[in-house]
Amino acid sequence: MLSTQKTKLAGLLACFHILIIASSNYLVQFPITVFGFKATWGAFTFPFIFLATDLTVRLFGAKLGRKIVFYAMIPALLVSYWVTIGFRHGNWLGFSTLFTFDLFVVRIALASFSAYVVGQLMDVFVFNKLRQHKQWWHAPLASAIIGNLVDTFTFFYIAFYKTSDVYLAENLVEIATVDYIFKMLVNAIFFLPLYKILLDKLTAKLNAK
């Protein structure tokens, strides 16, 4: 039985998952060029999902961590669809669009869901195997490398292989590769230190109760 403090924290982490997935699925519509290579703005936000997952597993363990991740999946899928279909290229299309069917958006939502399931299960598995290591960074780094690789290519192939968006369809492999490399750079430079800071703060807060 979870304490009130842990229940609140689990809820916040689940909401964090949903926020990251929805925002990333929306931002993947916007192409950018990074040092001459094609990518999307979603590459800046999605790495946060592995930060959220690793913190969840570290604080709650693999079994409960998987439950929290799974509880976030369906809401994340629905929110992603509504946000992506309601806003197209930064423009609000009206409430009526929320009840229409759009194959392009459906593929993004399903790709996100599939990649989330596969990537997060891999992330939880790898992280849990290494979370007892003396060096705190072994588990989050290894899980990010493997989890992001599986997640990234699963998402891009399901969402954009022969899609109606010519830019995304023709540059799928390049965008996915740049997306993955960028995620790894962001993870190493920003998320590992941030993970350590948040882990220490949350652990201290839980132990104080």
In sequence order, the 6+-apart residues with CB closer than 8 A to the CB of 187 are 47, 50, 141, 144, 148
Token readout for 68 is 């929290």
At 132, give phi and psi (nearest 5°): -90, -5
Domains of the chain (ranges; CATH) run 4-208 (1.10.1760)
Helices vs. strands in the chain: H and E counts, helices first: 8, 4
- The DSSP code for 163 is -
Instruction: List residues bridging with 32 in a β-sheet.
Output: 39
pLDDT of residue 34: 74
At 76, give phi and psi (nearest 5°): -65, -40
Task: Tell the residue number behind the tokens 């998952």, with chain if given.
Answer: 17
d(CA 42, CA 152): 11
pLDDT of residue 102: 77
- pLDDT digits (tens), the chain, 209 positions: 456 777 888 888 888 888 888 888 788 878 888 778 777 888 778 777 777 777 787 778 777 877 887 788 888 888 888 887 877 766 777 777 777 777 887 888 888 778 877 876 776 777 777 766 677 667 777 777 887 888 889 988 998 898 888 888 888 898 889 888 887 887 777 766 776 777 777 777 766 65
- The DSSP code for 3 is -
pLDDT of residue 137: 66
